[in-house]
Amino acid sequence: MDELQRIRKLYKLKSVYRDSSVGNRKESSAEHSWSCLMLADYFIEKMNLKIDRIKVYELLMYHDLVEIEAGDTPIHHEHKRVLKKEMELKASEKLKEEIPKELKKKYAELFNEFEECKTKEAKFAKAIDKLDATIHEMDCKEDWKGWTEEMLRRYNDKIIGEFLEMKELNEKIIKILIKEGYFTQI
């Protein structure tokens, strides 16, 4: 596989669609990665965090590349989430062989750091990933059909709760979602 094809492989993230709507179409994983970067930048400034900003940005740039091979698994598809980790590990290995050799090691390290969620940067990036999806979905009430507050909390609260300012915003969002009937749709 020549280098141009390997670089183009990364561009395929633009055509991986999530369940989240953007107007009359679905959001791409690349769009989600971009909004995660913007949200991270906002919170790093707001919280005056002593954190490796570049590492956070790299984690967020690379965090969903695995979806090029595995696709996106939304939180409300709980039956599919059972095999998500195994499926993504396999997809990550395949992807590693198809991206530019200059990025293989970096990709593998970032993928593992994000998944293991042991560093402050990885925890922050993972919290941003979850909070971004919730904020985005506030514009798409029809996408919340079948969601419950308990499901959202189970998915988000633990990791978001590690960062006070994000936790406070998440609580405000949940109050808005309850008040505006997002969780009452059948």
| pLDDT tens digits, 133-168 | 999 999 989 888 888 999 899 989 999 999 999 999
- Residue range 3-184, CATH number: 1.10.3210.10
Check residue 16 and report its DSSP letter.
P
Helix, strand, or coil here: 40? helix
Rounded to an integer, what distance in angstroms lies between the CA atom of residue 49 and that of residue 53?
9
What is the value of pTM for the model shown?
A: 0.92
Q: What is the pLDDT of residues 10-21, one digit of tens each?
A: 999 999 998 888
Query: Domain spans of the chain?
Result: 3-184
> For residues 17 and 26, is the Cβ–Cβ distance under 8 A?
yes
The answer on pLDDT for 125 being more than 90 is yes
